[in-house]
Amino acid sequence: MKPKTILLTAVSLLLLGWIVGLGCYPLLMWSPLNCRHEYVDLQSGRIMRQQIVLGMAVRERVEESPISRVLATDQVPADWQRVQTFSPCVDHSPHYRYHGCLQQMRELQMIWELGHMTVEAQRKSAVELLKHWQQDDSGQAAEEFLNHLSETMHASVAPCITDSPSHEDVAPATETDTATSEPSRPSEQAARRS
């Protein structure tokens, strides 16, 4: 081969690798030449991840989310909405209408775990979150719902914390305290007599 042909082939391969492998980064961010889209189904809460190369979907995976596992709704027609897009070397996404859905799912799951919510309460809160997504595409109503749910969960836990003994109540007793205090339980009184 001629040196000119080898150089032209090498430059072509590098250019092709830059276009396909990096999606023309940094000239084009989130290029359909190489990117990954993430979608949420507003009817069931399922998540779809799609890999795009040269404008074509080469891999598509639908996975269950905490919401879809609790609701177990397979027969509902899907309403897929894009929530995030990532490209090589670009680890942030443009802001889509439903951009906060994945984070809101994680928040709801944390509330379930921290609040020790029953399966029925989880179902009700999952349905409510889906309704907020379907009715308000800004995500504000869903965020307010999660804040209210979190505050309610914290308020139900707060009496347990405030009813606990104060630091003085659990301070170790001194020798004079034990000598002068009367035992309050019958088992302690029996132990003192013996």
Two structure tokens written together for 62: 């639908």
> Residues 6 or more apart from 191 whose CB is under 8 A from it?
183
CB atoms within 10 A of CB 83: 22
Nearest residue to 146 via CA among 99, 83, 101: 101
Question: Taken in order 36, 42, 47, 50, is the CA torsion positive or negative?
Answer: negative
Query: pTM for the complete prediction?
Result: 0.64
Nearest residue to 81 via CA among 94, 98, 93, 66: 98
Among the residues of the chain, which ranges form H helices? Answer: 3-21, 66-71, 101-115, 119-135, 140-162, 175-180, 186-193
CB 41 within 8 A of CB 77: no
For every one of its 194 residues, what pLDDT tens digit does the chain have, with 9 covering 90 and above?
Answer: 677 777 677 666 665 655 555 544 555 555 667 788 899 999 999 999 998 887 888 899 999 999 999 998 777 898 999 888 877 766 766 656 787 889 999 999 999 998 888 999 999 999 999 999 999 877 788 999 999 998 887 776 544 434 434 334 333 344 444 444 444 444 444 444 44
CB 83 within 8 A of CB 40: yes
Backbone angles phi, psi at 56, to 5 degrees: -120, 145
CB 34 within 8 A of CB 52: yes
Q: State the Cα–Cα distance between residues 39 and 50, nearest whole angstrom.
A: 8
